[in-house]
Structure formats: C-alpha cells, structure tokens
Chains A and B, each alone.
Chain A
Amino acid sequence: MQKLAAAIQDAAKKLLDDQKVDLVVGFARGSLPLRSTPGFIRKSCDAGKLTWDYSCENNLANYLRKREGKVAVVAKGCDTRAIVALIKENQINRDNLYIIGVPCSGMIDRNKADELLDGKELLEVEDKGDTLVLKGKGFAVEAKLADLCHDTCKTCCYGTPVVYDMLIGEPVPAKAEDNFDDVRAFEAKSPAERKKMLAEDLSKCIRCYACRNACPMCYCPECFVDCSTPVWIEKAPDTADNMLFQSVRVLHLAGRCVDCGACDRACPMGINLRGITRKMVKEVKELFGYEAGVNMEDKPALNEFTADDPQPFLVKE
C-alpha cells in the first residue's frame, strides 16, 4: 500500500512539474480511522499529501464532469467505469483527462467495522496485511480484510482499471463473473415481503440526497425531486415518497449505473441502496448483454436500437 502511495505521489509530482496537468484529483489522508478523503493537488510540492489504502472508497469520477483545463485522476476500477460512462455521455473530455489507474482488490466498509464493534468507537487501525486490528479504548478486534470489504467490492469483476494512461501496481487477478445472487435471493421473496423489507429500510431515509450527489452518473441540472411544478414527491421523508425517489433514481440509472456502490457508501443511515440499483444492472445485462462503462467501444444500451432487441416488458398478445 505504501509503495503504491509513493508511486502515486511520484506520478502526480511529475505530471504537475511537466505541466501536463493543472490538477490531480486523488485521495488524501482522512481525519478518522478507516477514512480517506478526496484531495485536490495543484502544486507538485503538495503531491506528498496523496495516499492510497483500503479506505479510498469514494468515486472520484464525480469530480471530473465538465472540468476546465487538464486534470489527472487517481482511479480504481469502479472510478474508471464511471469515467468511461461519462465520456460516452459527453460529460468528460478524454483528451483533457490523464488517468492514473490503480488496481483495487476492495475497499473497507466502515459500517461493517461499526457493526463488528457494536457501536464502540474505533480509534486506531493496525494493518497486518490480510487482517486489520481494530482498536479502541479497552478493546482490540482482529478482522479479515475480506470480511470488512464493501459488498460491492465482493461482486466487482473490474478491480483493475478498464482504461488508464498509467497503471500503478499489479492488475488484480480475474474473478468469477458476478451472478447476482443477492438480487436473485430478493426476487425469490414474495411481492409483499419485498415491499415490506424495502419500506422498512427506506423508512430510515432522511432525504439528505447523499446517494444522489455521491453518484457519478447523477448529474441532471434539475433533479425531479427538486421540481415544484409539478411536485413529483413531497419534501417530507415519507416512506412511500422515499420509495418513489429511489425507484425513479434507479430507473434514471438504467443502463448507466456502473455498480460502484457510491450511493450505498454515502448513505449516513446505512440503507441498502445497492439492493435496488443492482436489479437494474442485472436486468440490462441479461436483456441487452450490456454492462455500463466496461469498455470504450460498446454503445450504451439506451442509445442503441436493433430490430431484435428483446421486449419481454411488452404486453403479450
């Protein structure tokens, strides 16, 4: 990890020194354990602030839309998928972007650490390679890195950046294809059960819109929730409206969601948002054989029409 961080710092320093870019967007050390924070480096002497470890969970593609000037970004697999999807939507100019790709084998879910500690405060983390020791006042709990990983990272098959100008570190080994077991398990429940589970989860929503804002693909100038004529949903965090908000959000991401889990990670209330977004990811993959942002060539599912597109959603005659 430290070697990777040093290599990222060197790369950033060189890019800034050679004036190839005006800005490097990467990760800097955060103020809490298991936390890093997006960092914006403009001077090569500040490159030392950049870091890399298992806490770089944010999707930095979010900071790249409609940028002026030349920008470099430190990007893991899911960040690059979002970058590809945004390039296809003309939100990012590839010519002005330098991608420092970093293969990623998974980022840590702080909620899982919190659950493991049952609300006790985490103060320090000791990295032992495959395991982490979570320490606080009067306790030290050892946990496997793999167990603390975000669920997104467990199913992710694109840990190695799909596009880059420079790759730092070794590509991660290929994984078995995502079989959407989580979505299938939920599909197997009765409609009433599904409705009940979602309602229970979404009743926690406080409508801070962190999910929407953290999503690299959510960038409408006016979100439908902010629209006052007509009022599509009320401002009050009523559970029915929370469900409507999420269903429209997910629909807007159909064929565009890169399954990076940014929405899920951003939610302060710990709502399982991926449970809904992944349904659409699975649907699009099964119907159109399309995964968003995995390469520069495929045309986005919603932008293409062929005479033999499957249409199982139509009324059967």
Chain B
Amino acid sequence: MIISKSAISGLLDKLIAEYQVYAPVKEGAYSLFKQIKSGSEADFSNKNSKIPPKGILFPQSEKLFSYSVTPEGARVDECVDSAQKVIFGVRPCDAKSLLLLDNVFKNDKYEDPYYLTRRANTILVGMGCNDPAATCFCTSMNTGPFDSTGMDLLLVDTGDNYVVEAVSDKGRELAAKLGLAAAGDADNAAAAKVKEAAEVACQVTTEGLKAKLDGNFYDEIWDRVHEKCLGCGSCTYSCPTCHCFDIVDDAVDCNGCRIRNWDSCMYPLFTLHGSGHNPRTGGKERMRQRVMHKFKYFVDNFNATACVGCGRCIKNCPVNLDIREVLADILGSEARDK
C-alpha cells in the first residue's frame, strides 16, 4: 500500500474524526508526541521525539481511581481510559519498547488494567528510520531502523510517498478502512532500497555483558561509573523502557483519589524507607541499580534487555554520561568480585 506525503495531513484528519490521534509535534528544535486536533500539526522531520511516546499508554501522572466515604459507605470510581487511540509515526525503537513494557504490566503475577486497556485500544502506525542518528544503537539492542515488531503498520519514506506495510490484523483493518491504494512494484522496490541504505553506524557490544553483570555487583567499577552523575531523572524520564512508578493518595476529608506517577531509581527518595533508612545510600548504588535493572534483572525476569538503543539518555544527560561508554567500561573491567 502507499500514501502520498501530501495526503498525510488529510489522512490524519480522517483518523482524528474517529480516534485520539498522537503524532510528533514540533516544539522549537525538538519534537514531542502530542494529541493533535488537526493533521497539519504533525511534523515528521525530527529523527525522534525528545521524550518517548510511552507516556500515552503509561502517563507520567495518572489517576487510578477516586473514592469517597459517606455515611452510606465507601464509593470507588475507577478511571480506566478506554478511548480509541492511534499513535502515528512511532519509531521502531519505541514500538519495541512497548513490547518490553507489556512484560511488566502483564505477567503471571499481575495484570494492570490501566495500561492494558489503553494498549488494547491503541493502534501503532510506525515510521521507519531512513537516516538513524549518530546516537542510535538499536541494531545492538535487538531491533533496527525498519524493525516492524510491535507495530500495526509500518511506513517507509520513499521521498514523495510512504510505502505502507501491514504488520498485524489491526493494521490491515485500519488500512482497509482508510482505503489505501496498493503500491506498485516500483514503489516496493524503492522502499526496499531505502531499507537497505539505512545504516546504524553505532554498535554497542553486549556479548558477555549479562554474564559480567551476574558476577560484578561488588566490583569497584561501580565506584567510578557514577562519579559524574548528578542524580537527576532526565535519563529515566526520557527512556522508553523505564517504568518504575510511585503511588500516592491525594485526599481532602473523605474524598480522595489514588495517583500513579513516574518515579526514578536515580532519586534518593525512590528507596527511602519510612524508618529513615535508605538501602541505596548513594549515587553508586543508584547507578548500579539502573544498569543492572536494564541489562541483568530484566533479562533474568523476561529474557530481554530493557534498552532499545534510542539514544535519548545520551542526548539528554546534562553531564554527557553516555550509557554506551558505561557498558564498554563494564565489559572491559577485570572481574574482581569480592
């Protein structure tokens, strides 16, 4: 199938009539995924959004339910969002990250209705990356610039048109509904050529990383890698796979609600006990936790690395603490388990 670029705005308008449509919107020099009210707001010129679209399914702050206590008893109103959504222009790394998040929100111990309802009602229209950024290392993290895993449709930019590949049944249905024209052989050939030309220059070695992390919890490497870290949350909040949260109640008298907010393992408060004790005493322990969670614990739990190589943490870090260098440092360090 094929869509002409000039028809994209109209196509988005058509979608907006039926769905909540999210697409990259330009904010100065960067772009962010936002709900759009008109197709003309969308802008696909940036390589990827500043903050990943995970917040559409797992908002930075969301009300889970509200409650009130009256003489007649307690009342609880659940706030499950079941609106039909389309996320248009998702990059392969971000689509892949949602598959990883699925493991967290749906497993044999727990199923999260808030995330899963949104997830079930969301269609992902992906956009391949013709020209991956220098900070992208997706091919080292089990995905790639035209990996359609996790998407419903994949768009391939061939210059004047997008060649559309249907990935899932949901995607095929949407394409049929939109009445997309079939692509000619020439278009398909152009798409194949674009795919071949896309190159992710940056490679990160992960071979042996898991084995290394299995045995280096007490290694002195951790004394070094965190040293310049300021302990802010810009890496975690710009990470498509970070998913830790904190739940708070906000109540006035007998009315209140329960809110789930993103949290960051880089904050001291993350592990602070009510007693005042904090098991992760400093930056070293917090940094170790972040690396271990992504490259060891997540592998132990779900057999996948919780990093998709989008490179956002590299770009957003105020002190240029580069995860690629951290991983290389860890791999290069001598095993000195105490």
A and B touch in their complex, CB below 8 angstroms: yes
In the bound complex, do residue B31 and residue A119 qualify as a contact, i.e. CB atoms below 8 Å apart? yes
Given the interface contacts A62-B230, A206-B60, A214-B230, does A115 sit within 8 Å of B29 by beta carbon? yes
21 A-B interface contacts by CB (under 8 A):
A32-B134, A32-B135, A32-B315, A38-B227, A38-B228, A40-B224, A40-B228, A63-B228, A204-B27, A208-B236, A209-B232, A210-B318, A214-B318, A226-B268, A235-B248, A236-B61, A266-B234, A268-B50, A268-B238, A268-B316, A270-B28
In the bound complex, do residue A36 and residue B232 qualify as a contact, i.e. CB atoms below 8 Å apart? no
**Chain B contacts with A in 196-246, Cβ cutoff 8 A:** 224, 227-228, 230-234, 236-238, 246
What does the 1/0 interface line of B137-172 toward A look like (CB < 8 Å)? 000000000000000000000000000000000000
**Chain B contacts with A in 271-320, Cβ cutoff 8 A:** 314-316, 318-320
* A193 in contact (CB, < 8 A): no
In the bound complex, do residue B45 and residue A119 qualify as a contact, i.e. CB atoms below 8 Å apart? yes
* A317 in contact (CB, < 8 A): no
* A94 in contact (CB, < 8 A): no
A36 to B234, CA, bound (A): 18
A112 to B135, CA, bound (A): 19
Distance (Å) between the CB of A157 and the closest chain B CB?
25
In the bound complex, do residue A214 and residue B232 qualify as a contact, i.e. CB atoms below 8 Å apart? yes
Residues of A within 8 A of B135 (CB): 32
Residues of A within 8 A of B30 (CB): 114, 119, 270
Given the interface contacts A210-B234, A235-B61, A236-B61, does A269 sit within 8 Å of B50 by beta carbon? yes
In the bound complex, do residue B28 and residue A115 qualify as a contact, i.e. CB atoms below 8 Å apart? yes
* A118 in contact (CB, < 8 A): yes
Distance (Å) between the CB of B255 and the closest chain A CB?
16
Distance (Å) between the CB of B62 and the closest chain A CB?
9
In the bound complex, do residue B28 and residue A123 qualify as a contact, i.e. CB atoms below 8 Å apart? no
Residues of A within 8 A of B250 (CB): 234
Interface size class of A (residues with CB under 8 A): 35 or more
A43 to B104, CA, bound (A): 43
Given the interface contacts A32-B135, A32-B320, A119-B30, does A210 sit within 8 Å of B232 by beta carbon? yes
Interface residues of B (CB under 8 A from A): 26-31, 45-47, 50-51, 60-61, 131, 133-135, 224, 227-228, 230-234, 236-238, 246, 248, 250, 259, 261, 263-264, 267-269, 314-316, 318-322, 324-325
Chain A-chain B contacts (Cβ-Cβ < 8 Å), number:
118
In the bound complex, do residue A118 and residue B29 qualify as a contact, i.e. CB atoms below 8 Å apart? yes
Distance (Å) between the CB of A199 and the closest chain B CB?
15
In the bound complex, do residue B319 and residue A31 qualify as a contact, i.e. CB atoms below 8 Å apart? no
In the bound complex, do residue B228 and residue A268 qualify as a contact, i.e. CB atoms below 8 Å apart? no
**Chain A contacts with B in 71-123, Cβ cutoff 8 A:** 111, 114-115, 117-119, 121, 123
Residues of A within 8 A of B233 (CB): 206-210
Q: Could you tell me the dominant secondary structure of chain B's interface residues?
A: loop
What does the 1/0 interface line of A224-243 toward B look like (CB < 8 Å)? 00100001001111100000
A40 to B283, CA, bound (A): 15
B134 partner, pick from A39, A121, A226, beta carbons under 8 A: A121
Distance (Å) between the CB of B244 and the closest chain A CB?
13
A235 partner, pick from B47, B230, B261, beta carbons under 8 A: B261
The chain B residue sitting closest to A215, CB to CB, is B230
In the bound complex, do residue A237 and residue B61 qualify as a contact, i.e. CB atoms below 8 Å apart? yes
What does the 1/0 interface line of A259-276 toward B look like (CB < 8 Å)? 000000111111000000
Given the interface contacts A36-B320, A214-B318, A235-B261, does A266 sit within 8 Å of B230 by beta carbon? yes
In the bound complex, do residue B318 and residue A31 qualify as a contact, i.e. CB atoms below 8 Å apart? no
- Excluding A115-B28, A209-B267, A270-B30, 15 further A-B contacts by CB distance (< 8 Å) are A30-B322, A36-B320, A121-B134, A204-B27, A206-B234, A207-B233, A208-B234, A208-B237, A209-B233, A213-B231, A213-B318, A226-B269, A234-B61, A266-B234, A270-B29
* A37 in contact (CB, < 8 A): yes
A238 to B250, CA, bound (A): 14
Residues of B within 8 A of A209 (CB): 232-233, 267
Distance (Å) between the CB of A250 and the closest chain B CB?
18
